[in-house]
Amino acid sequence: MKGFATGLLVTIAALAIAGCGGDNTTRFVQDTGSPSPGQASASASPSTGSSASPSSSSLPTTAATPIAGDLKIIIDSPDANTAIGSPVAVSGTASVDKGTVVAVVLDAAGTELGRATTIASAAKPDFGHFEVSVSFSGATSGAKGQIKVFGVSPRDGTTPTNYYFITVRFA
């Protein structure tokens, strides 16, 4: 009985440790308009203090103001009223693992037309600014589409986390 209890305790401890670690939560945000001034950190001034990033990180130490509403990523530009063409400059604020931000241009059917990756100026838990240019092809002029921006999982570096969408119109 003593061996069984010890084994059970070890199993419980192993499960508790396995549950710790990176942020596995994925937040899906669907937005069809532009961020409101209270939501975004437009023209936020850089932090004068240093970032909490590890010293081995190549990320700049410029932090951004946290986003209201517990969002981890937001698109500041372009906004939903702008007709976009290729390449499109996408910028915003993010608090994602390793600062990795992916921007994707989708048509109305959800087909990927273009993708680009960048590193924000700070990594999670800090908020950093990002800017990326996405080249795309196959868009129909005047049609609606979406720009989707997300971070990636620290476990595999590819699984999307913390989505943010805006609806756009193609030029």
Copy the structure tokens of residue 129: 């600014």
Q: Over 50: is that where the pLDDT of 81 sits?
A: yes
The CATH code of the domain at 26-42+57-170 is 2.60.40.2550
Percent of the residues in the chain that have a pLDDT greater than 70, as a whole number: 63
How far CA 145 is from CA of 15, 32, 102, 103, in Å, comes to 43, 10, 17, 13
The Cα–Cα gap between 26 and 83 comes to 29
The domain locations on the chain are 26-42+57-170
Q: Is the pTM for the entire model greater than 0.75? A: no
> How does pLDDT run across 103-144, given as a tens digit for each residue?
999 999 999 999 999 999 999 999 999 999 999 999 999 999
